[in-house]
Amino acid sequence: MDAAVNPLLPEWTGPHGGLPPFDRVQATHFAPALDAAMCEQLAAIDRIANDPAPPAFDNTIAALERSDRAFNRVFAIYCVFGSTMKTPEFQAVERDMAPKLAAFRDRIIQNERLFARIAAVHAQADGLGPEQRRLAWMKYTDFVRSGARLAGAARERLGAINQRLASLYTRFSQSVLADESNHMLLLDRIGDLAGMPESAISGAAAAAAERGHPGQWAILNTRSSVEPFLTHAARRDLRERVWRTFVGRGDAGDTDNKPVIAEILALRHERANLLGYPTHAHWRLEKSMARTPGRAMALMEAVWKPAVARAREEVADMQAIADREGAGMAIEPWDYRYYAEKVRRAKYDFDDNEVKPYLQLERLRDGMFWVAGELLGLRFEPLRDVPVYHPDVRVWEVTRDGRHVGLFYFDPYARRGKASGAWMNAYRAQERFEGEVATIVSNNANFVKPQPGEPVLVSWHDAVTLFHEFGHALHGLSSDVAYPSLAGTSVDRDYVEFPSQLLEHWLRTPQVLDRFARHCRTGEPMPRELLAKLERAARFNQGFDTVEYLASAIVDMRMHLEPGKVGDVAEFERAALEELGMPREIAMRHRLPHFNHLFSSDGYSAGYYSYLWADTLTADAFEAFMEGEGPFDRAVARRLLECVLSRGNTQDAQDAYRAFRGRDAGIEALMRKRGFAARA
C-alpha cells in the first residue's frame, strides 16, 4: 500500500509543522505502513553503514537521527491506537506486528558495520560539542547494552528472546484490557449505591447506558470507577465483589497472565546473562540515577518500616470506628478506603465528598494551564478542526511570548478499548538540528463520562493525578535541545517522574484553589475553612498510600533479582508480601497478573521504585521554592526550566539536578513530606 492510499506514510501536513492524520487512519493501514517505514529505515541504515567516507558525527550519529523520521510518524500513531483505540481489529494487527517490530530493532542493533562507525565516532568524541558528545555516548551505550557486541549463536538467541518477549508483552496487556472491558458490576437498585456522591451515581448511570443498560448503574472494572465505589459505597458485600474483580484482573481463565509472567521473567534473566549482567535488574538500573538495585532497595527499605508503622496506626483508627458502629468485623482490603474516609471526617472534619463539588475537570484543566503560564510563561489556546482519533479529544496550541511551542491533546474519558489509568504521550519530539520542529504531546485519563450537561467532578486523588500527568506534558513542551533522541522526557526512568510529581504540589496552593476550585452549582470558591481542613489533612492516609505503592515496587525488584524463585507466580507474590510484613488490610497497588508497568513492555520492569526515587527529588525541589518567595517564585521557576525541564537528556540527571538545587537531594525532605519519623 503506497503513500497515495495509506494516510500513515506521507509527512504530516497542515499548520503547526504538520498534524497527525488521525481522522483518516484505520486498523488496516498499520501493518503495510509499518512494513514500508521499516524498509525505508533499514535502507537508510545500510547507506550509513556502507558510507565510504570516514565515520564522523554528521554522516553517522546525525544520519541515524534522520533515518527514522518516517518510522517514528507511523509508530507514534500506532502507539496512540494501541493505548486508546484498541479495537479487536487493531489487537490482531498488534499480535502480528509485535515480533516483527522486535526483529526490526535487532537488525539495526546487530548491523556490525553500523556499530563500528558509531564506536569510532564515540571514541573520538572529545572534539564534539557537549550535546553532540552526549548523543554519541547515548547511541554507543544503547547499542552495547542491546547486544551489538554479541556474535553467532548468542546474537541469534538474543533476537529470538526479544521477539518472544514482544509477543508476550502484547498478550499480557491484551488480557488485562479484556478483563477491564468485559467485567463490571451492574446494579438495578439505587439503594445499592447508598453513600455514593451524586456525581459518581450519575457517572455509573451513564456508563450503564453507554453499554446498553439504560436505567441501571455500572461500576466498571477500572481504577477510576472502582476507587470511588470502594471509598463511598455503604454495601460491604458489593465493595468486596468490586474489589475482588478488580484485583483479580489477569489472574484466571482465558486471561490468566501468570504463565506469561513466568516466561517473561525467565527470558529477561537469560537476556541479561547474554548481555553480561547478573540479573535483569542490574541491566535496567545501569542507566538510571540509582545505578544499582542495591541503592534502589536501600531507599525503599528506609521508607518501608515507617510507612508500615503509620499504616498500622491508620488501621487501628478505622477498626475503632467500625467497633463503635457495631460492624462486627475486622477491616479488610475492601474496607480500607471506606473506613479511612470515616476517620478523615472524625479526625479532620474533612469529607472527600465535601471537596468534590469544587473539583470540576474543566476548571482543573484551566488551573493547570494557569500554573504553566505563571511558572513557565506558557499560553494555551484551543484549536478547532484539528484531526483527532475520537470525538472526546480536544487540542490546544501552546505558545510562549507569542512563539509556537507545541500542541497539547487531551483525552479525558474512559471507553471500551482504551487502557485504564492516566498517562502522557509524545506524538512528535522537539528538535532543531535541521530546523525548528515543535513537539506534540498528550495527556490521557479515564474519567467516567457524565450525562450530557453535567460537570465531571473528580476526587482529590484524581485531581493530583491530573497535575502529575500534566507535569510530564510540561517536561515535553519545555524541551529545547537539538536532537530528538535527547528531547523532552527521554531521560532516566527514575528521573522522568521528578517533573511530574513536582507539579502535583501546585494543586493545593491557595492561588490555584481560590481561582479554580469553584462549586459546580454556585460557582463560589472553596470556603477558607474547607481549605484549612484540606491542608490539615494533607498527610492523611500516607501509610496506606506508601505501603500500597512500595509493596508493588519491592516485589518488582526482588522478583527481577531472583527470578529462579518465581516458578509459581501466585506463591511468590504471597510469600514475598509475607516476608515483607505486608499489613493484611492492604493489597499491592498492582498485583503481578495485571502489572502493566512491568509486563506490557520492559518499561518500568525492575524500575517501579522510580516514583519513590523521584519523590526524593520532588520533595527537596519544592522546598527550594518554599525557601524562596513561595510556589510561584519566578527565579526558582526559571532555574527549574533552564536546568531541568528544557535540558532533556543532554546531561547526566544527577548533574542536572545539582545545577538546579546546588547540591544533591537527601531523604530528609521526603520523610518530612510524608509525615514519617526522621531516621534514627
* Interval 270-315: pLDDT, tens: 999 999 999 999 999 999 999 999 999 999 999 999 999 999 999 9
Distance CA 83, CA 420 (A): 9
Dump pLDDT digits (tens) for 461-471.
Answer: 899 999 999 99
For residue 678, pLDDT over 70 is answered with no
For residue 680, pLDDT over 50 is answered with no
Q: Please, which pLDDT band fits residue 675 given cuts at 50, 70 and 90?
A: confident
Q: Please, which pLDDT band fits residue 199 given cuts at 50, 70 and 90?
A: confident
State the average pLDDT over residues 388-403. 97
Distances (CA, A) of 455 to 111, 345, 668: 55, 25, 40
Q: Please, which pLDDT band fits residue 2 given cuts at 50, 70 and 90?
A: low
For residue 322, pLDDT over 70 is answered with yes
Catalytic residues: 469
Distance CA 511, CA 495 (A): 28
pLDDT of residue 679: 44
Q: What percent of the chain has pLDDT over 90?
A: 92
Beta strands at 394-400 and 439-447: parallel, antiparallel or unpaired: unpaired
Q: For the chain, what's the residue count? A: 680
pLDDT of residue 537: 85
Q: Phi and psi (nearest 5°) for 18?
A: 105, 145
13: left (phi over 0), alpha (psi -120 to 50) or beta: beta
CATH 1.20.1050.40 region(s) of the chain? 22-149
For residue 613, pLDDT over 50 is answered with yes
Matching residue, cell 505503592: 549
Distance CA 79, CA 600 (A): 13
Which H/E stretch holds residue 410?
strand 403-413
Dump pLDDT digits (tens) for 617-673.
Answer: 999 999 999 999 999 999 999 999 999 999 999 999 999 999 999 999 999 999 998
State the average pLDDT over residues 499-518. 96
Beta strands at 439-447 and 403-413: parallel, antiparallel or unpaired: parallel
Residue 441 is given by DSSP the state E
Distance CA 298, CA 83 (A): 34
Q: Please, which pLDDT band fits residue 4 given cuts at 50, 70 and 90?
A: low
Dump pLDDT digits (tens) for 325-341.
Answer: 999 999 999 999 999 99
pLDDT of residue 451: 81
Distance, CA of 215 to chain centre? 35
Distance CA 355, CA 533 (A): 10
Distance CA 319, CA 325 (A): 10
Dump pLDDT digits (tens) for 421-456.
Answer: 999 999 999 999 999 999 999 999 999 888 888 899
Give every strand in the sheet of 423-428, ordered side by side: 378-383, 394-400, 403-413, 439-447, 423-428
Assess if CATH 1.20.1050.40 describes domain 22-149: yes
Dump pLDDT digits (tens) for 131-148.
Answer: 999 999 999 999 999 999
> What grid cell was written down for 104?
526490526
Dump pLDDT digits (tens) for 349-386.
Answer: 888 888 999 999 999 999 999 999 999 999 999 999 99
Cα angle for residues 442, 448, 454 (degrees, 5° grid): 105
CB-CB contact of 31 with 52 (8 Å): no
Residue 444 is given by DSSP the state E
Of 237, 149, 145, nearest to 187 by C-alpha is 237
pLDDT of residue 676: 86
Burial call 520-535: b when 16+ CB within 10 Å, e when fewer? beeeebbeeebbebbe
Of 549, 497, 542, 535, nearest to 674 by C-alpha is 542
Distance CA 606, CA 592 (A): 13
Distance CA 330, CA 315 (A): 10
The per-residue pLDDT of the chain, averaged, comes to 95
For residue 3, pLDDT over 80 is answered with no
